[in-house]
Amino acid sequence: MPALASSAVDSDAGLVERLRAGDESAFAELVRQYQPRLLRLAEATVGSRAVAEEACQDTWLAVVKGVARFEGRSSFKTWLFRVMLNRARTSATREQRAGRADGEMVERFDANGAWAEPPVPWSDLVDDRLVAERLARRVHDLLPKLPDQQRQVVVLRDVEGLDPLEVASLLGISDGNQRVLLHRGRAKLRELLTVEMGKSDR
């Protein structure tokens, strides 16, 4: 696994260098690789598909304008997520000032942002692939029920596979705090799933 992560970092570094040199195909490749992941994280942050798409557009514009300043002290992925989180928060604040109630911003995730597999606590327990896929979809649909920070931490840790310190840095919280948020988010999802399964058994 570390070798795969390393090759992804090397690939990103090459694309970033080409983008700095004005290679449009490098930009297209970065968008192809990261747009679904950016959109998923943006939705987890703002709760609205429309606002998430706007935040992603702003993010890619910022990447084009700011790639020369990317120093490589973090991975490109971490830098990209940090830019997106800043843009998403700005977009969400703009929406709230425009008078939209929070309740109006909650939407379901669509197939483009669907999880490939359930988060860690459940994936090890599910043998039947079809059941696992249904479970993953339900977990995905239940994400909007989590408080904002719990939802962001669950997406970054369980979906994007970022390590704890990266998540803490991205969200501007302590490592201990992100661990608590992850535990509570997973526990809440498990509780919601248990309630749903109980209803379906009746």
Average pLDDT in the 56-76 region?
A: 87
pLDDT at site 95: 65
What residues have CB less than 8 Å from 171, skipping those under 6 apart? 85, 149, 152, 153, 156, 178
Average pLDDT in the 26-49 region?
A: 89
Band of the pLDDT at 105, cuts 50, 70, 90? very low
Beta-carbon neighbour count of residue 27 at 10 Å? Answer: 17
Average pLDDT in the 26-55 region?
A: 88
What residues have CB less than 8 Å from 30, skipping those under 6 apart? 12, 15, 16, 19, 63
Same fold for the pair 1-107 and 114-202 = no
Domain 114-202 has CATH 3.40.190.10: no
- Find tokens 């840095």 and name the residue: 169
pLDDT at site 34: 93
Compare 32 and 51 and report the one with higher pLDDT: 32
Type of residue numbered 141: D
Between 48-52, 87-91, 100-104, 148-152, the lowest mean confidence (pLDDT) is in 100-104
User: What CATH number labels 1-107?
Assistant: 1.10.1740.10
Average pLDDT in the 162-177 region?
A: 90
pLDDT at site 80: 92
Band of the pLDDT at 30, cuts 50, 70, 90? very high
Tokens of 82: 């940090």
Q: In the chain, where are the structural domains located?
A: 1-107, 114-202
pLDDT at site 47: 78
Whole-structure pTM value: 0.64
